[in-house]
Amino acid sequence: MRRIAHALMICLSVLFAVLLPTGAASAADGCTAGTNASGQHVYYCGVWLPSGGVPVYASTATGAAVVDHLHTGGTANWFYCQVSGGTASASGYTSSDWARTVGDDHGATGYVPAVYFSGTENTWAGLPACGGSASPPGSACTAGTDLSGDSVTYCPVWVPSGGVPVYASTSAGSTVVDHLHTGGSANWFLCQVNGSSVTVSGYTSSNWAKTVGDDHGATGYVPAVYFAGAQNYWAGVPACGGGSNPPPADGTCTAGTSGSGASVYYCPVWLPSGGVPVYSSTSGTSGVVDHLHTGGSANWFTCQLSGSAITVGGYSSSDWAKTVGDDHGATGYVPAVYFTGSQNYWPSLPKCGTGATPPPPPPTSGGGTTSGSACGDSFTGIQKLTLAMIKSACAQENYIYAWDGGHAATPGATYGTCSPQDGAPNDCNVIGFDCSGLVRYAYYQATGIDALDGYTWGQWTEAQALHPQAVISGAGSGGPSDVANAEASLKPGDVIFYGTNADEHVAIYLGGGKQINAYESGYHVGVTGVDTDITFWGAVRLW
């Protein structure tokens, strides 16, 4: 019975071979139209994988260099188009048909012989011929915009170990100032220019493209040997120079406005590990009060001034710029060694004040005791500057709370910011203060120094940097989390901070369970009871 069944199977196989067209492949063998991750129109074709992956050749000849590999079997591989070329053989299959694709290791554009196609015919079934409208741009660069809105050109590159080097100039002998770490067409370039000849992995070119690196946001140049196309020049990138030239060399500072509407300047910086340090003064020996965590041109500064010389990464400069940090909102100074340009000063950033000198240090003494009244209360034996702060805050009672109000370049009431998610949908139409803007203004009016110009979490750090007379224990230092439990330790004039990490509210204590503050949208600046329903983070007695 087994012999009869076996014979029957042979007969059926022959019969089907006669009935089917010669060389026909199943539907699974064909290529299907689709799009790749970049949105390009491509075709997905099944391949089989030899050890090490499917080789991607620089041209349609088996003697050409292998520039990349495909590592995924089945129909997950995409191709642009097919074209005739040299005869290739693999595992007993022979074909002179090739398909254009981009490799997995380096994002290099090249060609795969059809002997790796998974269908029986050894041609790329359903894949259009290269040339004409059916052929995608492949390794050409395409115009676009970067995250800052600048006009740039996106070009595919392959990435060596450690990333694509970005050189300080168009010479391989110049310093490597940064790297690109993304293969394929996610990298953007400003323009191209001729430079010295460079050879990498058997490719040679004297063409370079200007870009901004991934690690430090440093502006520099990449040789075209890293371009994924076989031509080793930046196809489609405009020449550097002329009216269509992108931003000037080294990315000068450009005028703009901050989120609070203040007039500021955006300057590109490179990021060291941990962020760009923001110092309390223009000296590298002063305390680091905050950090910037964004490279490139996303950082804003108000002005520049001279300070002590500082050296970082082989660069030296005595030029500094004033800014506000990302972690605490603390105001401070950044040395120009973190600017991405080679000149190590802040080009186009205006000088601070008229004399380009740092502001005077905040007072460490309250000026002696005095007596007086404010907000309907009388005070005796109080420091003069403390009373001046309370009076300044109480004098703002005609203003209504404005979310983000009081944070312009100069202390004082400003329009707020409309932020429905923070319960402030109309505050951009209101002139006033938010809680930290009011405390900032009161301190400035009392001392003439704008040393508390951050937001609540920043003011907590800034206040402790002013050499205060006392810091009253709260949740921030392992003490009571309810202000009622700390009231016995508080005195009039103490600056009270609320919320986890001092990020919710700030007020000036008046005594008797009361505080002067800008409380919330819709309410005037005024006296309220201390907040017992939110975390008491701590308080600072300035004098």
Could you tell me the end-to-end alpha-carbon distance of the chain, in angstroms, rounded to an integer? Answer: 107
pLDDT of residue 29: 65
Q: Residue 147: its pLDDT value, please?
A: 60
Q: What is the pLDDT of residue 245?
A: 32
Domains 142-226 and 369-541 share a fold: no
Provide the 8-state DSSP code for 516: E
* pLDDT tens for each residue of 149-166: 667 888 888 888 888 998
511 torsion bin: left (phi>0), alpha (psi -120 to 50), beta (else): left
Q: Which tokens belong to 531?
A: 């907040």
CA distance 132 to 151: 28
| Tally of CB atoms within 10 A around 177 | 21
259 pLDDT higher than 70: no
Q: What whole-number distance in Å separates Cα of residue 523 and Cα of residue 418?
A: 15
pLDDT band at 323 (very low <50, low <70, confident <90, very high): very high
Domain boundaries along the sequence of the chain:
28-134, 142-226, 254-338, 369-541
pTM metric for this prediction:
0.43
391: tokens are 């009076």
Question: How many Å apart are CA 144 and CA 151, to the nearest integer?
Answer: 6
Tokens 């300080």 correspond to 168
Are 240 and 190 in contact by the 8 Å Cβ rule? The answer is yes
d(Cα 433, Cα 401) in Å, to the nearest integer? 5
In the three-class reduction of DSSP (H, G, I as helix; E, B as strand; rest coil), residue 18 is classed as helix
Total residues found in the chain within this entry? 543
pLDDT per residue as tens digits for the range 52-83 = 889 988 888 888 878 788 988 888 888 888 88
Neighbours of 88 (CB within 10 A): 23
Contact, 328 vs 280, CB < 8 A?
no
The encoded tokens of residue 204 equal 């040679």
Instruction: Choose the weakest-confidence range: 66-70, 357-361, 461-465.
Output: 357-361
Which residues make Cβ contacts (< 8 Å) with residue 258, sequence separation at least 6? 264, 300
Mean pLDDT of 479-483: 93
Considering the chain, what is the average pLDDT of its residues?
Answer: 80
pLDDT band at 16 (very low <50, low <70, confident <90, very high): very low
Residue 468 half-sphere exposure toward CB, CA atoms < 13 A: 20
Q: What are the residue ranges of helices labelled H in 151-270?
A: none
The CATH number of 142-226, from 1.10.8, 3.10.20, 2.60.120, 2.30.30, is 2.30.30
Class of domain 369-541: alpha beta
